[in-house]
Chain A
């Protein structure tokens, strides 16, 4: 147990030291506060009562939901009074038709209710229109074309707020000509639900304000808040992903990104689907889904660490667009030539790791790994929790018994001081450094670092500092609950490493046994890809996935900029969706420029190259990068390879789960068809499992049936 007062005092130590002249007195003050903490004890009766109240409210919400999903047709009269009468009657008898009183002009407004729809009228009177008011939500405030036609002489008519985005702008209280006035929609809103009509003016206003406040609060915290460090009882965290957009090849001819061999997002998605829940969209990184699978790409030529191939076909979800695949395959190091390994297992044994799917799984995983190692490897184990310790000093791989014993003795307990653990692990790795060997730290954790001064920025600085030492970092995520995906991905990204999420013993087998060479042996580091598109043939393009791997175009030639590592036998796949020139559709084209002419070179028109791919990489121990360049001819393959079809199915699945705005005609059925016909040999059954997951998602996803 760490002394609370010291903890609180240490927290403050980062502050300017001049503030601490009177440290002792402050300590006393804090002591006083701790000593006089009020005794708070919740009354169990109250706790039970509130639980019951919540259960009742849940039932109520469910009932309301059910009612809302019932379709109903209402006709409202043009006078508010009658409208309300109609509403009350409708509450009793759903789906009744109402007309206005005799002698008055009747304004029938047909409304097909759907949950969450908001229907708006003026406080006194409205002028109607006869089209069904679909797509009207509280956020869309537009005036409609039919407004004002039924206005009474004595009172100013209001304008019905309805319509689709793009129609005339709504401006509250402003005359629209012809004496019409647009009223604030909020003033009078009627929500139409299955059997009830609520006057929602106040309610909706409140709700809107609330959500606006919440949004503001979140915005203020900034985008990186999701990465923020966690406390004892935090939730899982995922960094927000902002989907790559279509870019015009004329304006942005260069697209630059770092490769990514991580697979964590896939196994995390599987965990969600297997528990009967759709994964949150920000947990889906499409490139990690695609790269989870091994593809049968050609081996590299002699002297090159990896091969580069491309293939192009029609995009399954948008037939007018072309899908171009860039495929990399790392060379396979034969078992005999594998360099000796110096491994440091850095294992989180804090209290949060206690469950069987965390520490239990870690033990089994590392046992598998140890079996795969050669006798000349060295292994050390560092654990971290409240204190950090070297459990096993660097031991030769031949002494398996000692290693297994050390692994089996691991126990969980205490808070997590991740940064101290990482520092010690790097020290042990340095002390046993093998020149020309595979020097690597394997971190196993749920990422829940929660003690001391370990802010994200400091951790990143630490890891970046160590990157130059030639020690690689493999991050293995375990467990659920307080799992910190965003932080772990960042650690691996910054630390010349890779990142996998282990949710089951099967996944442990994949990472630690089947793919052990790609997990552990790096063949090229800082691999960057830069694609130059030919604007004569490409109108616009979009990189699918790799959102947090995008680099600036000038970073491509800058050897100081870190990028992804490639392991032995690794395959890396990236897709570009391309709108061919002359095939541009709405949304991608813009008006011709007034001041700037077309700068497309004559050669571009003469060339039949769709694009040029440039790759930069460094040898695992090298400091200067090498360049590979390939021109890609404009050939659309018709007999697409199995791997292309399968990978495109995975990309499509990812786009559905992310609810991508570019998903076009993407659908579960199509994914299953594509994946089903491209299963291939599927030695370990991963592709068959993918099909099962798609089926599961389809059952769970009510939006996209």
Chain B
């Protein structure tokens, strides 16, 4: 359902913050999914989602409609919140390693997704933060490159190249036998 976002943003800017709840309703699902894909842990995803929307609420009055889309702005906040979250948790770990799946985090992954993740983790785990994020945004979130480029502060062509390289790298990482096994329908 298309919502009239510029209107909502202008309303917020002019002091009517109730309009923000409409923005919330529209994006909560997408943003939560993104954070969940990045963390694969329900409580963590909820924490970060909540932080994301709080930050968005604080910043919405300074949002400039001329400078990019609301959606990519929210994604950007979400991404930074995830990085912040892990940075706080483990000061010494670089951003590339903080991410999720099989990174040796203590928090237990959600049971329902464990099977899925174990398979994918072997692919995704080999990738640095940026590549993983682009794969998530493109494949699981189905965002167009124009938007991914905005979120990642890159050009569309760069994002495509990063995506291609990421897939290429994963392909090489996965042992052929394992690959066939999955391909056979597992």
Contacts and interface: CB of A to CB of B under 8 A. Distances in A.
A229 B138 contact: no
Counting chain B CB atoms within 10 Å of each CB, the highest count among A34, A275, A450, A481 belongs to: A481
Given A51-B24, A277-B10, A282 B65 contact: yes
B170 interface: yes
Contacts of B20: 54, 58
B88 interface: no
Interface string B21-41: 100111111101100110010
Interface string A355-388: 1000000000000000000000000000000000
B6 A236 contact: yes
B18 to A, nearest CB: 7
Contacts of A19: 164
A237 B54 contact: no
Contact of A12 (B15, B54, B64, B163): B163
B42 interface: yes
B9 interface: yes
A618 B175 CA distance: 67
B57 A54 contact: yes
B37 A40 contact: yes
B167 A29 contact: yes
Contact of A226 (B4, B28, B67): B67
Contact of B123 (A8, A33, A480, A700): A33
Interface string B50-82: 100110011100101111111100001000000
Given A57-B54, A217-B76, A480-B4, A228 B146 contact: yes
B139 A240 contact: no
B2 A482 contact: yes
B26 to A, nearest CB: 7
- Which of A235, A355, A479, A480 has the most B CB atoms < 10 Å from its CB? A235
Interface of B is mostly: helix
A36 B120 contact: yes
A226 B2 CA distance: 19
A15 B164 contact: yes
A481 B65 CA distance: 12
A43 B33 CA distance: 11
B65 A235 contact: yes
Contacts of B147: 230-231, 234
A239 B2 CA distance: 21
A39 B112 contact: yes
A12 B160 contact: yes
A479 B139 CA distance: 30
Given A8-B139, A230-B69, A455 B53 contact: no
A514 interface: no
A455 B149 CA distance: 12
A482 B170 CA distance: 36
A221 B150 CA distance: 7
Interface in A335-350: none
B32 A42 contact: yes
Nearest to B34: A40
Given A8-B139, A233-B26, A218 B69 contact: no
Interface in A243-293: 272, 275, 277-280, 282
Contact of B30 (A62, A210, A233, A481): A233
A30 interface: yes
B94 interface: no
B171 A26 contact: yes
B153 A217 contact: yes
Contacts of B156: 455
Contact of B138 (A8, A280, A481): A8
A592 B79 CA distance: 54
Contact of B167 (A30, A34, A39, A482): A30
A4, A25, A272, A451: most-surrounded residue (chain B CB, <10 A): A25
B37 A225 contact: no
A232 B27 CA distance: 12
Contacts of B167: 26, 29-30
Interface in B135-186: 135, 138-140, 142-147, 149-150, 153, 156-157, 160-161, 163-164, 167-168, 170-171, 174, 179, 182-183
A28 interface: yes
Nearest to A482: B2
B112 A235 contact: no
A32 interface: yes
Nearest to A277: B10
A130 interface: no
> Which of A34, A36, A272, A280 has the most chain B CB atoms closer than 10 A to its own CB?
A36
Contacts of B10: 272, 277-280
Contacts of B103: none
A42 B29 contact: yes
Given A11-B160, A272-B10, A225 B65 contact: no
B50 A231 contact: no
Contact of A38 (B29, B36, B76): B36
Contacts of A225: 67-68, 150
Nearest to B112: A39
B11 interface: yes
B139 A481 contact: no
9 contacts: A15-B164, A22-B171, A37-B116, A54-B21, A54-B53, A58-B20, A236-B4, A238-B65, A480-B2
Interface of B: 2-7, 9-11, 14-15, 17-18, 20-21, 24-30, 32-33, 36-37, 40, 42, 45-46, 49-50, 53-54, 57-59, 62, 64-71, 76, 112-113, 116-117, 119-120, 123, 135, 138-140, 142-147, 149-150, 153, 156-157, 160-161, 163-164, 167-168, 170-171, 174, 179, 182-183
Given A51-B21, A235-B70, 6 more contacts: A22-B171, A47-B32, A54-B57, A214-B62, A228-B68, A278-B10
Interface of A: 4, 8, 11-12, 14-15, 19, 22, 25-26, 28-30, 32-34, 36-40, 42-43, 46-47, 50-51, 53-55, 57-58, 61-62, 65, 210-211, 214, 217-218, 220-221, 225-226, 228-240, 272, 275, 277-280, 282, 352, 355, 450-451, 455, 479-483, 700, 702
